[in-house]
Structure 1
Amino acid sequence: MHHFFSMMFSLLAIIGHVSGQPAKGGSERNIDRPYRSELTVSNGMYWGSWGYKSMCPIGRYAAGFSLKVESPVGRDDDTALNGIRLHCIDRSTGSSDSYDYTTIESDVGSWGVWTDIKWCYSGYLTAFQLKVESSQGNGDDTAANNIKFTCTGGYYLQGDGTNWGKWGNWSPTCMGKGICGIKTRIEAPQGKGDDTTLNDVRMFCCD
């Protein structure tokens, strides 16, 4: 069971993000933006429920990402990867990686801290691979631990997640210009039970 005060602090931080920082640069996420393809992987876990779909503003695509990660907690209950943020820009306007980007996220777990943003050198995110720990039976389950993305041009970026589990197969590559949206599967806090938080993710691609 996690510390009560740690969970409350994290919940307040999430509320603050949702209410006060949905975007940088003045653009708001567009939930209803049409997409061309949906990217999935086969190794995601099944605990929890799917959250809402969150999309980049029209004309912007995800060129960077950051993760919410709980570091290993020893004999306590590990949750590993708790959240994924996508950072959306429009390279056709000359936007740089650190200027005028929009941050989007789907549902997020209660624990951990956000890592630094990792950016594609050019183009956008186009495919992903998930590192997942399978069911541990009576042991401590963590589900998703880390993620990699392929960028336009074929090189990839690896997140600063934790090390449990195995890498699964890559998702298909985007049909369209790049990834433009995200949807996550999150297990809610289990009280005295075993928490896993982020179990699976789907990405959306736009023209």
Structure 2
Amino acid sequence: MCPEDTYATGFSLKVESYKGKAEDDTALNGIRLHCTHGSHSDKSKAHTVESQSGTWGQWAEPIWCPQGSYLTRFSLRVEQPRAGLQDGMGATNIRFACSGRETLEGRGLSWGEYGEWSPPCTKGLRGIQTKQEPIRGVLVDDTALNDVRFFCYSR
């Protein structure tokens, strides 16, 4: 959860780049919220919150709402489960809407489809919970991040 009196004004993703047909790809491995008091002059002092994150991939630089706005809703991009021995990835990207109506898209992968937009958090997002598949081992398909839930500011 974001600290008291702060809200999510930016986010960053941990993504494993596509490795090719012969490798096990996991795509989206983590999501961080960057919480501020709303002024982007304090971006360097932003408090970062995250839930579980997978072990693969690299963290990208944060993506920020325009000054004075904050994250209000999201849409997760997910690849449908694959049958048999095909390589599944689970979640591959996410996009957020800011309070000023801007849309921010993560630097994830392009596989899968975006789901519907979540209901708006008119007072902003302030917490995160992710669903991660545990590491399954050698010669077994891993997917990493499979779902996410965000918590709204209620006051």
TM-score relative to the length of structure 1: 0.70
CA distance in 2, matches of 1:178, 1:157: 15
User: What is residue 109 of structure 1 aligned with on the other side?
Assistant: 54
Kindly indicate which of the two structures has a greater share of residues assigned to helix. Answer: 1
Identify which of 114, 118, 131 aligns with 1:171. 118
Q: SS state of the match for residue 134, structure 1?
A: coil
Give 1:169's aligned amino acid.
E
CA distance in 2, matches of 1:167, 1:104: 24
1:142-157 paired onto structure 2 within 5 Å:
142-157=89-104
Runs of 4+ aligned residues of structure 1 deviating over 4 Å after TM superposition are none
Contact 1:97–1:119 at 8 Å: present in 2 too? no
1:38-57 paired onto structure 2 within 5 Å:
55-57=1-3
* Residues 101 and 107 of structure 1: CA distance in aligned 2, closer, same or farther (over 3 Å): same
Q: Are positions 1:127 and 2:76 aligned together?
A: no
* Residues 189 and 125 of structure 1: CA distance in aligned 2, closer, same or farther (over 3 Å): same
**Aligned-pair distance for 1:97?**
5.3
Q: SS state of the match for residue 41, structure 2?
A: coil
Identify which of 9, 15, 18 aligns with 1:69. 15
Give 1:187's aligned amino acid.
E
Unaligned runs of 5+ in 2: none
Q: SS state of the match for residue 96, structure 1?
A: helix
Which whole-Å deviations, capped at 9, do the CAs of 1:132-177 have from their partners, x for residues lacking one?
Answer: 00111121110000000000111110000011111111100014x1
What is the CA RMSD across the aligned residues, in angstroms?
Answer: 1.1
User: What is residue 203 of structure 1 aligned with on the other side?
Assistant: 150
User: What is residue 100 of structure 1 aligned with on the other side?
Assistant: 45
Kindly indicate which of the two structures has a greater share of residues assigned to strand. Answer: 2
TM-score relative to the length of structure 2: 0.93
CA distance in 1, matches of 2:77, 2:144: 14
